[in-house]
């Protein structure tokens, strides 16, 4: 089974910008492009296969037909496990929190959300919100929300290109304006907004907050925010392990000429190009072009494949 390109659904949330169109070639009639869901079987936004034998098919339909392409141990009734996004924050995102699996399964009919961020670029002075400055009680947290003093309590973290953040369920967080991110997460769309700067939605009304649920799931202790990332250079390819958890494994490969990789039966591989001037993915004499924003699904069991050219890619698999 050959690797294939994916076409990502695009979201036009009010805080989005124009970089997904300008840098990554994403197409939409919307003025603002906030997110593109580069690997998704979630019903709120599904990828479509672009070209090849399964051209035009939803990725979820392909997975239902060929669960072995996800993993030799994957059962389609479990649901596709991960979601990969590009996020362009022209303005601040809401301050929010995600629940764990147990809570989300019980109350939302969805998964919880563990996620990680790789900072593709950040404007000077850009920062994000990650947890609290100091520990609060639940009552102090509630009072800060009600008295509009929450932003005095949160921990603001300056960011730069290449930073990595791991966001466990229950961690209060927000992406700040001027940040471009690759996000890898559990396949979930459950978000509890706590604070939204008084903004109005498309209907002219304040966007919904979810304070009571947020109070139930938020960890009010300070969080360990930034993860150190170490690179290993071998044969001209710099590889960095960005995340390794129960839900996903994420590596970044900075390739100047060629990287020889493989997809065994234990997991599919998702390749997302986030930098470089271009190249190609080659598998068994079959070639796919790679440019900024290209998203490729490599089925489990494909075996050896190579990426050639000047490419900076995020590669996601499952444990």
Q: Report the b/e string of 217-254 with b at 16+ CB within 10 A.
A: bbebeebebeeeeeeeeeeebebbebbeeebbbbbbbb
Catalytic residue among 21, 90, 193, 254: 193
DSSP labels for 51-76?
A: SSTTTT-BHHHHHHH-GGGT-TT--G
Task: Look up 193 and say whether it is catalytic.
Answer: yes
Q: Tell me if 283 sits within 8 A of 317, measured CB to CB.
A: no
| Nearest alpha-carbon partner for 188 in 61, 267, 314, 103 | 103
How far apart (Å, rounded) are the C-alpha atoms in residues 101 and 154? 25
CA distance linking residue 252 with residue 120, whole number of Å: 11
Helix H or strand E segment including 140: helix 138-146
C-alpha–C-alpha distance, residues 238 and 137, integer Å: 44
Residues with catalytic function:
193
């Amino acid at each position: 089974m050959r690797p294939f390109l994916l076409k990502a659904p695009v979201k036009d949330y009010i805080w989005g910008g124009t970089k997904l169109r300008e840098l990554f070639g994403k197409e939409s009639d919307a003025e603002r492009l906030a997110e593109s869901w580069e690997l998704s079987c979630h019903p709120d936004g599904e990828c479509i296969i672009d070209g090849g034998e399964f051209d035009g098919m939803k990725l979820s339909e392909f997975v239902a037909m060929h669960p072995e392409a996800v993993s030799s141990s994957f059962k389609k009734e479990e649901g596709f496990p991960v979601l990969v996004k590009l996020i362009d924050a022209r303005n601040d995102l809401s301050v929010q929190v995600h629940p764990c699996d147990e809570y989300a399964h019980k109350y939302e009919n969805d998964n919880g959300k563990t996620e990680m961020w790789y900072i593709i670029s950040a404007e000077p002075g850009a920062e994000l919100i990650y947890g609290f400055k100091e520990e609060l009680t639940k009552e102090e947290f509630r009072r800060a929300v009600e008295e509009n003093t929450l932003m005095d309590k949160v921990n603001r973290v300056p960011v730069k290109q290449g930073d990595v953040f791991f966001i466990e369920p229950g961690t209060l967080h927000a992406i700040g304006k001027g940040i471009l991110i690759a996000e890898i997460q559990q396949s979930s769309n459950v978000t509890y907004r706590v604070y939204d700067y008084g903004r109005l939605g498309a209907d002219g009304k304040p966007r919904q907050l979810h304070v009571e649920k947020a109070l139930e799931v938020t960890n009010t202790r300070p969080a360990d925010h930034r993860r150190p990332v170490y690179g290993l250079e071998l044969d001209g390819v710099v590889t960095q392990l960005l995340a390794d958890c129960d839900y996903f494994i994420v590596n970044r490969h900075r390739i100047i000429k060629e990287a020889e990789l493989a997809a065994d039966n234990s997991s599919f591989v998702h390749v997302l190009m986030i930098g470089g001037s271009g190249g190609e993915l080659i598998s068994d004499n079959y070639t796919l072009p790679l440019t900024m924003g290209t998203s490729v699904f490599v089925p489990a069991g494909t075996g050896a494949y190579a990426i050639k050219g000047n490419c900076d890619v995020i590669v996601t698999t499952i444990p």
